[in-house]
Structure 1
Amino acid sequence: MIKETFDALIIGFGKGGKTLAPFLAEQGLKVAVVEKSPLMYGGTCINIGCIPTKALAYQSHIVSQEEGNGPESRQAKYARALQEKDELVTLLRGKNFNNLNSHPGITVLTGTASFQSPHEVRVETEAGSILAEAERIFINTGAKPVLPDIPGIDGAHVYTSTEMLDLAKLPSRLAIIGGGYIGLEFASIYAGFGSEVTVLENGGVFMPREDREIAEEVKKVLEAKGIRFRLQTKVSRIAEQGESVQLLLSTPDGEDTFQADAVLVATGRQANTDGLNLEAAGVEVTGRGFVRVDETLQTTVPHIWAIGDVNGGPQFTYISLDDYRILKNQLFGDRTRTTGDRRFVPYSVFIDPPLAQVGYTEQEALKRGHTVKTAKLPVTASTRARQLKQTEGLLKAVVDAETDRLLGFTMFGAESSEVVNIVSVFMQSGQPYSVLRDTIFTHPSMAETINDLLGAIQ
């Protein structure tokens, strides 16, 4: 076994780690980055998350707007979309690898990492074993899909979100187990390409975290696109039947069966710590299996930190990037930045049209004791939406009636993933909502809907 010594060792090639590595190298540190698979250079977002799924979502939207697409045409366009997605991912994966591998202060090790002691990590590579010793270690291994204990879930026609990205044949009938954000994005993508999509959700409330008026609007729009939702429906067994699959369902009305050509399991994600041997380092995990960290991202071992999805924070690429900012500040700054500084973090769900939200929903604001004023605006009120021929959706704002501060904003409509960032930046300022209401925006644009929405608040 070869032994090498580093100042910093980063396990995993995700957003936070790949940004942290060159920064540490520029401070004069000798840095190693370990990645298990050459197909994951760049992390989850680039290879199996944000980039490929949103690329497919874009192509799906285009196909859904076209007329006269028969099964053969849709299959051909689906195949072309997969090819373009793969070309994009390959390009970005290569750029990410080269960004680190070409840096004189960084060594990229492709292999499986396992702690041997608090300062030592064994890396099994194709060329042999390396014992990497480091003064500082950063765990950046991300998360992976949860597979529930369902008989038959390992069948040939059952896929995780990662595997669905390489599904060559467009399924005529797609069943999705789980009505969360990942499940809804794939439902929207495949419905756009022409699949008959049914979402099977064990819970009794559709999109329980969202504002109830917004959630109902989302459900109505997606149902109009042909997506069917079955709530309070548990999948008890999956059975392969040649080229199709039969699912045994448990519902409040009793047992039922459902036929599909493909099944996507989208029941959540869990920390990707298999094989890391965290016990050897003394690193503790939470009850949910994520690496336990404090507000500075430090684990229970002072010289080991965990960044990105593996630490159980919000599972967004931009949160992983903010983890990097916190570490940069804690290690080489004034040590004032922490996870507690994160206020009004926006998010987007790339269904068609996209859903974006920041701050509190009306229900959350009321639970927190706020007296609120609200306003709603249909997307049809937007001239830009009519130009884009994307008039589905709804906007909603929640304002504190006593302070006039904007507490929350939700937009289910075209370009909402861009508009929400404007509102997020404004909410950080703490100014009264009237300032944003009276801000000048370009015309025609989706952003100017903010003027009309907030102008409706009494």
Structure 2
Amino acid sequence: MPHVDLLLIGTGSGNSILSEDFSDRSVALVERGTFGGTCLNVGCIPTKMFVHTADVAATPGVSSRLGVDETLDQVRWLDIRDRIFGRIDPIASGGREYRTVHQDNSHVQVHEGTATFTGERRVQVTPNDGGPPVELTADQIVVAAGGRPFVPAIDGLEDVDFHTSDTVMRLDRLPEHMTILGGGFIAAELAHVFSSLGVAVTVINRSGALLRQEDDEVSARFTELAAQRWDVRLDTRVRSVSQQGGTIRLELDGPEGSTTLETGELLVAVGRVPNTDLLDAPAGGLGMNPAGLLVVDEYQRTTVEGVWALGDICSPWELKHVANHEARVVQHNLLHPDHLRASDHRYVPHAVFSSPQIAAVGLTEKQARAQGTEISVAQQAYADIAYGWAMEDTTGFAKLIAEKGTGRLIGAHIIGPQASTLIQPLIQAMSFEQDVREVARGQYWIHPAMPELVENALLQLE
């Protein structure tokens, strides 16, 4: 049975652990999918490349409010798709080649297949090519196996040619109509992408609002604006799905009773699940929480000595910047076992790259009030700052929540252009425990730039 010093399961953020500091250790690397993981191949990077293209394509639709009349002449889908994956696919294959043949990795053995625990620090790898299983043991194991799209149990769905976020970006042609199941960030981003490129989009959501994990006011504003762009069906469930030729038929139950919807493409975007079931984590003695995530402590240690975990397999945030942070922590702790470093999950920000953009960090107003914290809440509209006038933005706003009296910022929420950039000074203020009054008054804010949105919101806090 091959034994190694270090076994890594997953080549997303986990792959970044293997610096030259591990060159004196024997290493096994296991990957069941495409080298590079979710973010590179089917997640953050390709979706945001599509989003930027969609933003450009959507510009003519709103330019007339500025006195500029533009038209969108053509969308060359295959050129868009191939430009994006023509950049991404070589990175994935290059990463695989580097680990498999480069002399710097002579101490690394790469196994392409599915890893399954058969005991403590013992795994069996079933190769993708159908070869015989390989048994591996290790002194240290890092589980960075990520997650995958969740496919709900809907009658007939297994017999339909539906897509998930793993496949929809590689369509051979744009359909006239696409139906998206889900109301979270993946659904919101891909609805923006395809509608901006000329596809009629229907969004079906079981709850009464889109992006309902956001602050209530942000979710309500986004839902309102989405309904102006897409056919949004709220409080609606899919009873069954069927397909005849190129037409997919959905039987729906909603506020108007039972209805039928026909569509050319169906995208299932109702969430993601960790790959702990594929790993058979219990067979390895690994503890899991009710959501199926591996249980880890602040040092990213699992319930089994010598086994660590990071990223979507153990993190409730499902964010690449969280996985990268945790990978740095695990790397340090593997190299310095006597001086362990803890992960910092105090203020984890996120962004939704739809239209409008959304970014947030910390507590929502509802969460803050539920904790019994006495708070000060400020709201600043884009429409009331000079750059907002320039853009003629009448719907975006920033909402800040501070602990009353102390000046400690505990939540920040922005919906509008460049929200993911504008929120950064607020993440910094929270991370370094800066007083909001100091942040507002202790530096220059360029006039008339968009960060005045943040400045003016900060000045309102008590």
The TM-score with structure 2 as length reference comes to 0.89
Match of 1:87 in 2: 86
Name the amino acid aligned to 1:87: G
State the secondary structure of the residue aligned to 2:135.
strand
Does residue 168 of structure 2 align to residue 164 of structure 1? yes
Please tell me whether the aligned partners of residues 201 and 233 of structure 1 are also in contact (alpha carbons under 8 angstroms). yes
Please tell me whether the aligned partners of residues 122 and 132 of structure 1 are also in contact (alpha carbons under 8 angstroms). yes
CA distance in 1 between counterparts of 2:404 and 2:159 reads: 54
State the secondary structure of the residue aligned to 1:208.
coil
**Residues 156, 450 of structure 1: CA spacing in aligned structure 2 closer, same or farther, 3 A cutoff?**
same
Match of 2:231 in 1: 228
Match of 1:407 in 2: 410
CA distance in 2 between counterparts of 1:233 and 1:24 reads: 53
Which is worse superposed, 93-102 or 401-410? Answer: 93-102
Match of 1:394 in 2: 397
Does residue 5 of structure 2 align to residue 7 of structure 1? yes
Does residue 66 of structure 2 align to residue 41 of structure 1? no
Does residue 352 of structure 2 align to residue 354 of structure 1? no
State the secondary structure of the residue aligned to 1:174.
strand
CA distance in 2 between counterparts of 1:79 and 1:391 reads: 35
Match of 1:55 in 2: 49
Match of 1:174 in 2: 178
CA shift for structure 1 position 435? 1.5
Please tell me whether the aligned partners of residues 10 and 34 of structure 1 are also in contact (alpha carbons under 8 angstroms). yes
Match of 2:63 in 1: none
**Residues 43, 161 of structure 1: CA spacing in aligned structure 2 closer, same or farther, 3 A cutoff?**
same
Give the percent of matched residue pairs that are identical in Structure 1 and Structure 2.
Answer: 28
Which is worse superposed, 382-391 or 140-149? Answer: 382-391
CA shift for structure 1 position 423? 1.2
Match of 1:416 in 2: 419
Does residue 223 of structure 2 align to residue 219 of structure 1? yes
CA shift for structure 1 position 314? 1.2
- Which residue of 133, 136, 140 corresponds with 2:137? 133
Please tell me whether the aligned partners of residues 391 and 413 of structure 1 are also in contact (alpha carbons under 8 angstroms). no
Match of 2:204 in 1: 200
Please tell me whether the aligned partners of residues 206 and 215 of structure 1 are also in contact (alpha carbons under 8 angstroms). yes
CA distance in 2 between counterparts of 1:416 and 1:98 reads: 37
**Residues 81, 369 of structure 1: CA spacing in aligned structure 2 closer, same or farther, 3 A cutoff?**
same
CA distance in 2 between counterparts of 1:116 and 1:212 reads: 45
CA shift for structure 1 position 424? 0.5
CA distance in 2 between counterparts of 1:23 and 1:14 reads: 18
CA distance in 2 between counterparts of 1:390 and 1:159 reads: 34
CA distance in 1 between counterparts of 2:123 and 2:242 reads: 42
CA distance in 1 between counterparts of 2:388 and 2:4 reads: 54
**Residues 380, 96 of structure 1: CA spacing in aligned structure 2 closer, same or farther, 3 A cutoff?**
farther
CA distance in 2 between counterparts of 1:282 and 1:365 reads: 37
Aligned positions of 1:286-301 closer than 5 A: 286-301=289-304
Residue deviations 1:91-135 (CA, integer Å, cap 9, x gap): 331343355443334332222222333233233334654332211
Please tell me whether the aligned partners of residues 209 and 220 of structure 2 are also in contact (alpha carbons under 8 angstroms). no
Name the amino acid aligned to 1:320: A
- Which residue of 310, 314, 328 corresponds with 1:311? 314
Residue deviations 1:180-221 (CA, integer Å, cap 9, x gap): 111111111111112121211111243322222222221233
Name the amino acid aligned to 1:21: L
Please tell me whether the aligned partners of residues 21 and 106 of structure 1 are also in contact (alpha carbons under 8 angstroms). no
CA distance in 2 between counterparts of 1:54 and 1:191 reads: 15
Residue deviations 1:219-267 (CA, integer Å, cap 9, x gap): 233233x213221100010111322211111124421111211111111
Please tell me whether the aligned partners of residues 218 and 393 of structure 1 are also in contact (alpha carbons under 8 angstroms). no
Match of 1:451 in 2: 455
CA distance in 2 between counterparts of 1:187 and 1:63 reads: 14
- What RMSD in Å do the two structures reach over aligned CA positions? 2.3
Which is worse superposed, 352-361 or 320-329? Answer: 320-329
CA shift for structure 1 position 9? 0.3
Name the amino acid aligned to 1:311: C
- Which residue of 369, 372, 390 corresponds with 1:369? 372
Residue deviations 1:56-101 (CA, integer Å, cap 9, x gap): 111011111134336xx23x2x322211111121133134335544
Match of 1:278 in 2: 281
**Residues 369, 336 of structure 1: CA spacing in aligned structure 2 closer, same or farther, 3 A cutoff?**
farther
State the secondary structure of the residue aligned to 1:451.
helix
CA distance in 2 between counterparts of 1:24 and 1:244 reads: 55
Name the amino acid aligned to 2:16: T
CA distance in 1 between counterparts of 2:158 and 2:241 reads: 9
